[in-house]
Structure 1
Amino acid sequence: MNAITQLRVMDLMTAPVISVSMDTKFVEIRHLMELHNVHHLPVVDQDKVVGIISDRDMLRVLSPFLGTAGEMQRDLDSFNRVAHQIMTRQPICVVEEDSIEAVLAWLKTVDISCVLVTDKAQLLKGIITWRDLLKHAKFSAT
């Protein structure tokens, strides 16, 4: 068995995690992602996880007409969206005590690049991305 698969989520997760509220505006979300060089921001409501915003979610809401001759006011309105209009609801979550195997299973099964870490009450505790897993992987030449 590979040493990484024996680890627990708490051993590899990044904590604390920068998060946003349901009403955080697009511009602030983009600023936080750039400032902290992150690709995912959990969305919390009263400290409970309700969603996640990825850089892909941000691109999805932007109009392809921004900055072109065909740009209209409705294209600029994408900047007025808030987190609950952008986020992916019901994100995949694991608990701190879970094995890394659980994270690997989710990443292989669903097309996602991170999982959120919560406690049993759905309070945000951390995040694990595929980059966190790669940092701890040991590769052997075969």
Structure 2
Amino acid sequence: MKINSIMQDRVVTVDHEASLWEVKMVFDNTRFHHLLVTENNILVGVLSDRDYLKAVSPNLGSATQSKADTDSLNTRVKTIMSTKLHTLSPDNTVLDAVKLFNQRSISCIPIVNEDMTIAGIISWRDIMKTIEALQG
């Protein structure tokens, strides 16, 4: 089975120069857990909700929030994104994705075309949903 049959082609991208304010708005208003980071429409990194939470002050939104806490949202995506990219193409198989997940400590795999433009994304959740549907 090819990845393009189960990948999510609805992805959210953010520019590498975006601030964590912008990322906060995306995570607050969507159900996405990974943002694909681009520079001139080319994939250059991945930012997970966990990366975001590690980078911002834990006091945001609390009664003890200070200006320094709020200023943590001025951080640029490029300073905290994962740049060690593990990608596959739409023509790879789901088994290729399973192998990559098992070899690397990653939670998503960007699916890219030959020119590194984004075609989609796949997560373990997508694979598990497919297995469940095949069993059902």
TM-score by length of 1: 0.83
**Runs of 5+ in structure 2 lacking a partner?**
none
Within the candidate set 32, 44, 65, 1:50 is matched to 44
1:96 matched residue in structure 2: 90
Paired residue type of 1:110: R
| Alpha-carbon distance between aligned partners in 2 of 1:126 and 1:49, rounded to the nearest angstrom | 11
Does the alignment pair 1:24 with 2:13?
Answer: no
Aligned-pair CA distance for 1:77:
2.1
The corresponding residue for 2:131 is 137
1:63 is aligned to 2:57 = yes
Do the aligned partners of 1:42 and 1:51 also contact (CA within 8 Å) in 2? Answer: yes
Mapped partners of 2:82, 2:71: distance in 1: 20
Instruction: Tell me by how many angstroms 1:65 deviates.
Output: 4.9
1:27-66 CA distances to partner (integer Å, 9 max, x unpaired)?
Answer: 2112112322100000011111000100110011123455
Q: Which amino acid aligns with 2:28?
A: E
Segment of structure 1 superposing worse, 28-37 or 123-132 = 28-37
**Kindly, what percent of the aligned residue pairs are identical?**
26
Judged with a 3 Å threshold, the aligned counterparts in structure 2 of structure 1 residues 16 and 65 are, in CA distance, closer, same or farther, namely closer
Q: CA deviation at 1:129?
A: 1.0
Contact (CA 8 Å) 1:33, 1:41: kept in 2 or not?
Answer: no
Q: Quick check: 1:108 aligned with 2:98?
A: no
Tell me the TM-score normalised to structure 2 length: 0.87
Shift of 1:83: 1.3
Paired AA for residue 32 in structure 1: V
* 3-state SS of 1:93 partner: coil
Task: Report the count of equivalent residues.
Answer: 133
Tell me: CA distance 1:32–1:94, structure 2 relative to 1, closer, same or farther (3 Å): same
Q: 1:8 is matched with which residue: 2, 16, 36?
A: 2
Distance in structure 2 (CA, Å) of the matches to 1:92 and 1:122: 12
